[in-house]
Structure 1
Amino acid sequence: MGQQLLRNYRQIGPTAFHAFNQRVATALAEKTRIPDSVWAGNPGLLESYLATSAKHDAVYHESMLGSKLVINEREVLQAQLVIKLDEIALVMEMAAVRNPGILVASGFDCSKERRGHPRAKTVPTAPEAAQVEKKD
Structure 2
Amino acid sequence: MTSQSPRIQRNYRNQAPTRFHEANQRTRTALADKTRFPDTFWGEKLGLIQVYFTVSDKHDAVYHEAKYGSRLVISQRDILQAQLVTLLDQIVSFLEMAAVRDPEILLASGFDMTKERRGGSRVKAAAAARMAENADSKEGESGTQD
Q: State the TM-score, normalized to the length of structure 1.
A: 0.84
| Residue number in structure 2 paired with 1:76 | 79
Alpha-carbon distance in 1 for matches of 2:37, 2:119: 31
| Residue number in structure 1 paired with 2:56 | 53
| Residue number in structure 1 paired with 2:36 | 33
| Residue number in structure 2 paired with 1:10 | 13
Alpha-carbon distance in 2 for matches of 1:26, 1:17: 14
Q: Which 5+ residue runs of structure 1 have no aligned equivalent?
A: 126-132
Alpha-carbon distance in 1 for matches of 2:118, 2:15: 28
- Corresponding residue SS for 2:69: coil
Alpha-carbon distance in 2 for matches of 1:17, 1:61: 13
Alpha-carbon distance in 2 for matches of 1:59, 1:95: 32
- How far has the Cα of 1:34 moved from its partner? 1.9
Q: State the TM-score, normalized to the length of structure 2.
A: 0.79
| AA of the residue aligned to 1:28 | L
Report the aligned-residue RMSD: 2.3
* Structure showing greater Rg: 2
1:50-101 CA deviation, whole Å, 9 max, x = no partner?
0000000000011111100000000000000000011111111111111111
Verify: 1:94 aligned to 2:101, yes or no: no
Verify: 1:62 aligned to 2:61, yes or no: no
Name the count of aligned residue pairs: 133
Alpha-carbon distance in 2 for matches of 1:3, 1:74: 31
- Corresponding residue SS for 1:65: coil
Higher helix share: 2
Answer yes or no: is the 8 Å Cα contact 2:39–2:46 preserved in 1.
no
| Residue number in structure 2 paired with 1:128 | none
- Corresponding residue SS for 1:10: helix
| AA of the residue aligned to 2:16 | G
Distance 1:35 1:97, change over 3 A: farther
Question: Could you list the runs of 4 or more consecutive aligned residues of structure 1 that deviate by over 4 angstroms after TM superposition?
Answer: 133-136
